[in-house]
Structure 1
Amino acid sequence: MTITEQKQFENETLNKIAPYLGKKNEDLFEYFYVKRNPKTGNYPKNANGIVINRILKTDIDEEMKRKIKEYNISIRSIRITANKKVKESMSLPNIDFEEIVGESWESSSLRQYLTDIRYLFVVFQELEGSVYQLKGAKFWSMPTVYLEKTVKSVWVDTIETIKNGVELKYNSKQKRVSNNFVKSGDQRIVHVRPRAAKSSYSAYNPNAERLPVPANWINKPKNYSDNWMTRQCFWLNNRFILQQIADFVD
């Protein structure tokens, strides 16, 4: 693999998407045989992703599959709402609480992931209701200046939070637990929150992860553990993603 070969592959990939730019998602669904659920009448949640995979033939083109793996490419469809916001933040690696506290930044799993990964962002912008238009596509990697400063600082703060004992607070009215990890509202490019919808603070539960230091609880329910909490994940902030694809936003 050479940089020239990878650049050529990326240009060829963007050229495959180009004929469909400006198309509405429902027209693309029809063209690429993406069907509604007969019971709910809704398209699959990953319908846009299915369209992109069929445009690029990632499921049947062995050469395409080989190069995506070789170049460590992650294809992500991004939805921009009518009020010009990216609908979702983007998940990054899960956090193993016991492992991360023993890592150095230089060899950390988060730094390694963001150094190696090459994203293909495919952008859909909302026109009205659930109708989206395919606006553009671009390859993107995390700039070193962000990785080695802001992202690193969040990683360091995450470790310090774990080592000092994560602060967990149970709200009996909402029946929810809050913590003191970096939030998306902190606007630091990445934040920490669960990936899965299910939560658990019980020992050995598959939705929980063991903490190396007991948590500092406020209003802890009797059946909750001091040493386990819901699995957490790093996320790319949706506002940061919007900045990286701003050239596609009307």
Structure 2
Amino acid sequence: MIYETMEELMEKAKEAEGKTFGEIDKHDRLHNKKSKGGLGQVVEESLFEYTVNSDTKPDFENLGVELKVTPFRKNKNGTLSAKERLVLNIINFMEEVKYEFDTSSFWRKNQKLLLMFYEWVPEVDRKDYSIFKSVLYTFPEADLEIIKQDWELIVGKIRAGKAHELSEGDTVYLGAATKGSSKSSVREQPYSEIKAMQRAYSLKQSYMTALVRKYIKNEDLVQFANAEELKQKSLQDILQDKFAPFIGMTDKEMAEHHGIAYNIKSKSFVATVVSALLGIKGTKLEQIEEFSKANIQFKTVRLEPNGIPKESMSFENIDFNEWTSEEWEDSYLRNRFYDTKFLFVVFQYKETKNENPNRELYFKGIKLWNMPESTIETEIRELWEEVNKLINEDELKIEYVKRGGKMVEKNNFPKSNFNGVTHLRPKGRDGSDKVDLPNGKRITKQCYWLNNTYVAEIVKDIL
């Protein structure tokens, strides 16, 4: 069926809101539980009544609209997030290098997206998932400038004969996601003999989460960069420009400059200063549009005079039941580093604590960083595998020793000398703050850390 107007198309899409896929399915597609594309195909065939295809043109060609059926989920804390990235079209390495952005396969196919959001619920049959909302989505002007920069970076790598080195961490909103059933899903690239993993353009999971928050929760996000700025500079350059005037100031001077009460012990103090430096004082970092869509998380780095932080960098407490029940490719830890960009806000002491107990912190600069894929697939994977081995093969040793008049827990989880990048350490309120392990043992809450020497190496170029 051909829809002549956008209004006619959206009216049809709205008919599905509140209905389950089982109610829409006229062709009994959902009996094949292994069919991954089944839900989208149900909407294509049974709601819009057109034949499923893998055409390079938009699904509704006369209107220039591509249909995408995409899931969101409710998290344990009550928030909503996208369940996954939104995979768009396959990148033909041999062809894409012939085009500019405006004539690219990405832009020809995805200028306008009809997004149909449904709620994914664990343990519920997919025929009972409900379509929640339909949105005709066109990219906001500022987003489009970032997406153009992302496209240029992806295609630039292909033109340099490095399609095999593409990584989703390279870009901000638009990713080049692996697309295929296995690592043997490879294809030729134009400027290298090396076969490259098949990839597809995708909107990152964090970008889709921001859309879920906007269209389903009606949450407003605040921008610090506008389209005109982004036409001239990258997001990273704009961030650098925002922070540059304050390099050399103490953290106290930075706070005073923006009328912020100085409270170094407050966990939110640096976050409050960061939002002020971005020109959106009072905005929580999770409400900053660019941070939300790109999954940029900030970490404060406090360097000693020798350029090394006193402490390693801590992350979340570990859910050991989750950790030991996942495959590496789908693991929380792997996705955590693939999907996150970190904004390191770096300060340094000029004196040791012995030299001056009242020493001050001086701002050195920022670094927008994502962990290299090679590190994730080697050192981070080593940590994941070692923890799994210790627990699943019952090799974890927990003992209590007397130290300073107190009984202290010791274990043989990987320590800071494990592989130079990462390790496990306790992160509970005290020794009595424990969790159950899958094997029935109890242990003080643990989290994973990045070694202080590894963090020092990441930020050394801004000192």
Q: Which residue of 2 aligns with 1:83?
A: 306
Contact 1:21 1:135 in 2 (8 A): yes
Matched with 1:171 is 401
- Give the AA of the match of 1:246: K
Once residues 387 and 305 of structure 2 are traced to their aligned partners in structure 1, the CA distance between those partners, rounded to angstroms, is 34
1:161 equivalenced with 2:382 (yes/no): no
1:35 aligns with 2:35: no
Structure 1, unmatched stretches of 5+, are: 38-42, 201-206, 215-226
What is the 5 A alignment of 1:238-249? Answer: 238-249=452-463
What secondary structure, in the 3-state scheme, does the structure 2 residue paired with 1:175 have? strand
Moved over 6 A (4+): 61-64
Question: Could you give the per-residue CA deviations for residues 9-34 of structure 1, whole angstroms, max 9, x where no partner exists?
Answer: 23212211111112122321322334
Paired with 1:245 and 1:118, the residues of 2 have a C-alpha distance of 14
Residue 228 in 1 paired to residue 450 in 2? Answer: no
Query: 1:159-202, CA deviations, whole angstroms, 9 ceiling, x for partnerless residues?
Result: 111113321110134410010000113343111112233233xx
- SS across alignment from 2:265: coil
CA distance in 1, matches of 2:363, 2:386: 38
Which residue number in structure 2 is paired with residue 204 of structure 1?
none
Letter in 1 for 2:447: C
Identity of aligned residues (%): 30
CA deviation after TM superposition for structure 1 residue 236, in Å: 1.1
Which residue in 1 is equivalent to 2:296?
73
1:147 is the counterpart of 2:376 = yes
Residue 73 and residue 212 in structure 1: after superposition, are their counterparts in 2 closer, same or farther (change >3 A)?
same
Q: Report the 3-state secondary structure (helix = DSSP H, G, I; strand = E; otherwise coil) of the residue aligned with 1:123.
A: strand
Q: 1:12 to 1:63 in 2, by over 3 A?
A: farther
- Which residue of structure 2 aligns with residue 112 of structure 1? 335
Q: Which has the larger radius of gyration?
A: 2
Q: Which amino acid aligns with 2:273?
A: V
Quick check: 1:188 aligned with 2:420?
yes
TM-score, normalising length: structure 2: 0.45
Structure 1 152/55 Cα, relative in aligned 2: closer, same or farther at 3 Å? same
2:275, 2:283 within 8 Å by CA — same for their partners in 1?
no
Could you tell me which amino acid in structure 2 is paired with residue 183 of structure 1? K
Alignment of 1:210 with 2:429, yes or no, is: no
Q: Partners in 2 of 1:62 and 1:190 — Cα distance?
A: 26
- Listed as ranges, the matches of 1:94-113 within 5 Å are 94-113=317-336
Amino acid at match of 1:52: V
Number of the residue aligned with 2:274: 52
Residues 209 and 228 of structure 1 are in contact (CA less than 8 Å); yes or no, is this contact kept in structure 2? yes
Instruction: Name the stretch that deviates more: 178-187 or 101-110.
Output: 178-187
Q: Greater shift after overlay, 46-55 or 124-133?
A: 46-55
Alignment map for 1:118-137 (pairs within 5 Å) = 118-128=341-351, 129=356, 130-137=359-366
CA distance in 2, matches of 1:63, 1:178: 36
- Counterpart amino acid of residue 335 in structure 2: Q
Alpha-carbon distance between aligned partners in 2 of 1:152 and 1:44, rounded to the nearest angstrom: 34
The one of the two structures with greater contact order (alpha-carbon pairs below 8 A, sep at least 6) is 1
Sort the Cα spacing of 1:237 and 1:58 in 2 relative to 1 into closer, same or farther, 3 A: farther
Contact 2:275 2:282 in 1 (8 A): yes
Q: Give, as a single letter, the amino acid of the residue that structure 2 aligns with 1:44.
A: K
* TM-score (normalised: structure 1): 0.81
Q: What is the aligned residue count?
A: 226
What secondary structure, in the 3-state scheme, does the structure 1 residue paired with 2:288 have?
Answer: helix
Change (3 A) 1:58 1:190: farther
